[in-house]
Chains A and B, each alone.
Chain A
């Protein structure tokens, strides 16, 4: 698949979200004696969401696919960076914030930007120390600690 019709896919996702919002909203009180209930507002924006995203889907399905090719290489890089960030979040529980951040820095500098390992290690250690000095020592914030106590 060289081209991706982003409008079609995102529109379909939003149709699904709108349908979900409407079904949930129908389970709550729409109107009570005191006035509108919790289901009132969501029902209406849910309906608006479904209508608008259907228009988007129909338009993009009838129109020819957008001319520009989808640059999968660029998207891949961004998603790789995102995966690294998500991994860092997952590691914060077992390893603590500073080590996770150092690993993330190492990955970004060495893998994503292809710098020599020496520079990457220096950046990782420097970044972690910098965060420790500014946020833990100077601002006194408590960040998730790892097995080594930091």
Chain B
């Protein structure tokens, strides 16, 4: 009942013309960058974040979330038509989607992807709506030790699934913690790691690191090869997007499977939509009566991963909005956005900012409908985006990155830092250091240090407070256990296989 009242309030917010407009802009931009390979939602949200500072927070959140789930729709379009996954989460969609397209059922495959995304996306939002409020109530009992333990657990999961080398993932996270502690200390007034310059007294703005490591790092990596603006042939005959009745019937179970698996994986930090799409594809194949058809253009092989990919969005917003713990790079950037607007996601968020929480939830229903309406007729048009030459695209990304960073505090020093972090992002990519742990360490660093120090204040310096409270003890134990798992060879080879398949 509470949820229904909240949702009613949310729709009143989401259906305001201005918010509808921003929701549309968000899902539209999301679709565009989803279609473009090599530019992900994390980079786009980071670049556009500074431009939203003057917007009302609710509208800004609605737009940024629209980019997040819109990108997932767009990513599947190129996966199906061109065998080019726009995002890593669309890799599995290529398997059967592209085969369907080759058999002349490309339109139907796109239609199934859109329908499945819509169904599962909606299920994900319903799950978010039902799970978030009780979880927030439970989290209200948390105190500093529990928060410290929770953040440790979140980071451990992200590190575990970030890359083949656990050591490199941990090191990336530690560098993130280091960057987070630059500037004036939270409790005392000592300046830390400022290298004697006043520019660093406030620390390094999150946006600079995120744009540098994601947007610039990605572009520099892409520029290694002088791709001649790879012009890919876009298949014709996309007029008929409606799947046949048989195809839809084959997907019945896939819709449910994708929705449920995607949501559950989304709630868990670390395992993002890529892993969700792989697992639901695997499950779909395992329970299928004709598993041999998978990989040759089985419609349920498109429906399951696409559903999981989109249902994951709702799931991943649960820990973000109720606990303030992001599970992926994209949600970490969303968290930073909330903090910049002075909103602290956590157990009190739904109570304190109901119009924002419910407005966002309602806007995701609206956004899913928009995406369906937008995508079905406009798919051939979106496919044309791939014809943009990369040498025209990259200077634009460079420019937007610079504008984004400069507008944070009108500082050329920040732009120089951006160049530095761009180089860091490229080198990390080159040397196989995952970037998600760095961003998470950076976003959570301050809160984690605060929670740890407050815990030790409560116990006057006794570290045993972290393990003498049951909830925090269990979470810390799980965190340590997770990080020890790769020591078992069998598990580690499974883990690396999972990560590499996600490539």
Contacts and interface: CB of A to CB of B under 8 A. Distances in A.
B352 interface: no
Given A17-B178, A35-B461, A52-B167, A113 B403 contact: no
A82 to B, nearest CB: 6
Contacts of B174: 18, 45, 48-49, 52
B61 to A, nearest CB: 19
Contacts of A48: 170, 174
Given A36-B461, A41-B181, A112-B223, A131 B398 contact: no
Contacts of A55: 167
A38 B188 contact: yes
Interface string A80-119: 0110011011101100010001001100110011110000
A53 B454 CA distance: 29
B394 interface: yes
Interface of B is mostly: helix
Contacts of A92: 402, 412, 415
Contacts, number: 165
B407 interface: yes
B406 interface: yes
A10 B431 contact: yes
A135 interface: yes
Given A41-B453, A108-B395, A143-B406, A74 B426 contact: no
Contacts of A104: 395, 398-399
B192 interface: yes
Contact of A89 (B219, B419, B460): B419
A21 B224 contact: no
Contact of A45 (B177, B220, B403, B457): B177
Contact of B51 (A18, A24, A86, A139): A139
A37 B188 contact: yes
A55 to B, nearest CB: 6
B398 A52 contact: no
A38 B220 contact: no
Interface residues of B, number: 58
A56 B220 contact: no
Given A36-B452, A41-B449, A141-B403, A78 B167 contact: no
Interface of A: 6-7, 10, 14, 17-18, 21, 24, 28-29, 31, 34-38, 40-42, 45-46, 48-49, 52-53, 55-56, 71, 74-75, 77-78, 81-82, 85-86, 88-90, 92-93, 97, 101, 104-105, 108-109, 112-115, 123-124, 127, 130-131, 135, 139, 141-144
A36 B454 CA distance: 8
Contact of A88 (B220, B223, B402, B431): B402
A150 to B, nearest CB: 14
Contact of B456 (A36, A78, A112, A130): A36
Contacts of A114: 226
Contacts of A78: 220-221, 223-224, 426, 430
A108 B419 contact: no
Given A28-B192, A38-B188, A82-B422, A56 B168 contact: yes
A85 B433 contact: no
